[in-house]
Amino acid sequence: MPGSLPPLVEPAAELSKEEVQRYSRHLIIPDVGVDGQKRLKNAKVLVVGAGGLGSPALLYLAAAGIGTLGIVDFDVVDESNLQRQVIHGQSDIGKPKAVSAKESVAEINPLITVNLHETALDSSNALDIFADYDLILDGTDNFATRYLVNDAAVLLGKPYVWGSIFRFEGQVSVFWEDAPNGQGLNYRDLYPEPPPPGMVPSCAEGGVLGVLCASIGSIMVTEAIKLLTGIGEPLLGRLMVYDALDMTYRTIKIRKDPETKPIEGLIDYDAFCGVVSADAQTAAADSTITVRDLKDKFDQGDDFALIDVREPHEYEIVKIEGSTLIPKDRILSGEAFAELPQDKPIVLHCKSGARSAEALAALHKAGFKDAVHVGGGVLAWAAQIDTSLPQY
């Protein structure tokens, strides 16, 4: 156990009368007290992502009195966000998430400064954006951005709190390569390599229990407050895993991986993580049709097999009439090949196109050379062709 670390920031000069009243429940905790609250006032925290984890994190960081909050997000609020992204409301649909988040934060605490970074975080801007902050809180949902956040934090010597959620499970840890007493770790010590493309479903593909975001987001804020004020034992060197169905919290020790190479600069993280595999990219390059092409096939009475490679519970939510469900894993394993017609063209689709591209590569290798897939999947079909269908 690392024990307490020195406080990350110096205390501000003073607290105003209004701040004393606002933060009184912090001030009467001996471990926090006036000194701890002054450190929070002086702290600058950057939250990457104003989505599932960023929502509760931003609300509670603001309420806690973090003097300067930065928000990185370039997405807009969508109705499907509201099941878990509680910083946004019905009237925010269509609004930039960063702007919506800032407005909610201002309602909670008008005494703090909020900086918006309405941009896609990438290798060209991460170091500049991170430079002004004491601590980074990473609430992103894809591996490319997680590795980018990690590497930028390492290069700048900054600690960051990382969280991850999927269905009913969440994970949290603290990474800080330059931590005192040789305790330094970074995300690559836990995950040296990204998983193969398509192996780990995103929340958009696999789902997430909305309230899980609150559980994990609040733990992330707790860790941030501990680091900023120098109280308690942070999750540095420990991975905390929460299972909502079993209602269990367990911690796993993380050790420095001697094989982890030093980070010397930022790279192309989409290429590093291979958002879709090289085989899928090759297969899709000249075998992708649009949803309009698919509609033309139906309208012309073409004889073809439309195969939906999503999961059964997704097929129940929405489906394209005339499609047959064969989940992707059964195609990748070869188990479903016998069920596929040999005498007519095969058209694959999934939710948005990534999984069907992986399945397409498997079919091409198995000799189904004429198989194609639908770019944009059922989401594009519902948006462009049959708008009576729901999107999910």
Which residues form the catalytic set? 203, 350
CA distances from 43 to 26, 40, 151, 295 (A): 16, 5, 22, 55
Contact status, residue 349 vs residue 318, Cβ threshold 8 Å: no
- Spell out the SS3 assignment of the chain: CCCCCCCCCCCCCCCCHHHHHHCHHHHCCCCCHHHHHHHHHHCEEEEECCCCCHHHHHHHHHHHCCCEEEEECCCECCHHHHHCCCCCCHHHCCCEHHHHHHHHHHHHCCCCEEEEECCCCCCCCHHHHHCCCCEEEECCCCHHHHHHHHHHHHHHCCCEEEEEEEECEEEEEEEECCCHHHCCECHHHHCCCCCCCCCCCCHHHHCECCCHHHHHHHHHHHHHHHHHHCCCCCCECEEEEEECCCCEEEEEECCCCCCCCCCCCCCCHHHHHCCCCHHHHHHHHCCEECHHHHHHHHHCCCCCEEEECCCHHHHHHCCCCCEEECCHHHHHCCCCHHHCCCCCCEEEECCCCHHHHHHHHHHHHCCCCCCEEECCHHHHHHHHCCCCCCCC
Distance CA 47, CA 128 (A): 15
Cβ atoms of residues 323 and 309 within 8 Å: no
